[in-house]
A = this chain, B = another copy of it.
Amino acid sequence: MNPKIMIILGSSSDIKIAEKAIDVLEKLQVPYSLHIASAHRTHEKVKNLVIQGTNEGIEVFIAIAGLTAHLGGVIASYTHRPVVGVPVKAKLGGIDASFATAQMPYPAPVATVGIDRGDNGAILAGQIIGINDYNVRKNISNLRNSYVEKVDIDDKKIHSKLN
């Protein structure tokens, strides 16, 4: 099946954040591809990946990057598809990457999620895909429901501990 989501990591050091995204996308059964390519150091590679990906049916891009975190913005300059940005904590608690992802000028937004939240980046991408894909929508519902159950179980555990 052709990938609908392309994840690009700015550096191999961000792999743990990517794994959180992959884990969710597997559960949502959304086909994806994964690449490492740096906004500044392998700019042409990013460009080629994004243009080719857009042509071949990628519907959402997920950029995972720390520090100046320009990756999301660079992807956004080569595609009309929505770009999800996951800022990674490398220095300053990730505040640099968070601003560098969210504060994009008009008309080039990057849909920013929380610092190190590869999981939420994947959920957001899944919600976008799910607008026209019943199965993905259902999988998100299941995933949310199982989360609700987990909270209920945690809640019960706490009560039995207290009494």
Chain A positions near chain B (C-beta within 8 angstroms): 9-12, 15, 22, 24, 34-43, 45, 59-60, 66-70, 73-74, 76-78, 80-82, 84, 89, 91-96, 98-117, 119-121, 123-124, 127-128, 130-132, 137, 140-141, 143-144, 147-148, 151-152, 154-155, 157-159, 162
Contacts and interface: CB of A to CB of B under 8 A. Distances in A.
B34 A82 contact: no
Nearest to A138: B80
A113 B111 contact: yes
A77 B128 contact: no
A137 B80 contact: yes
Contacts of A155: 35-37
B105 A41 contact: yes
Contacts of A70: 39, 68, 70, 73-74, 100
Contact of A119 (B24, B107, B137): B107
Nearest 5 CB-CB pairs, A to B? A111-B111, A109-B120, A12-B154, A40-B108, A96-B99
27 contacts: A11-B105, A12-B154, A15-B158, A34-B159, A36-B155, A41-B105, A41-B107, A66-B105, A67-B103, A68-B114, A70-B70, A80-B127, A80-B137, A80-B141, A81-B127, A91-B116, A92-B99, A96-B100, A99-B99, A102-B112, A102-B114, A104-B114, A105-B120, A106-B120, A109-B114, A128-B128, A132-B132
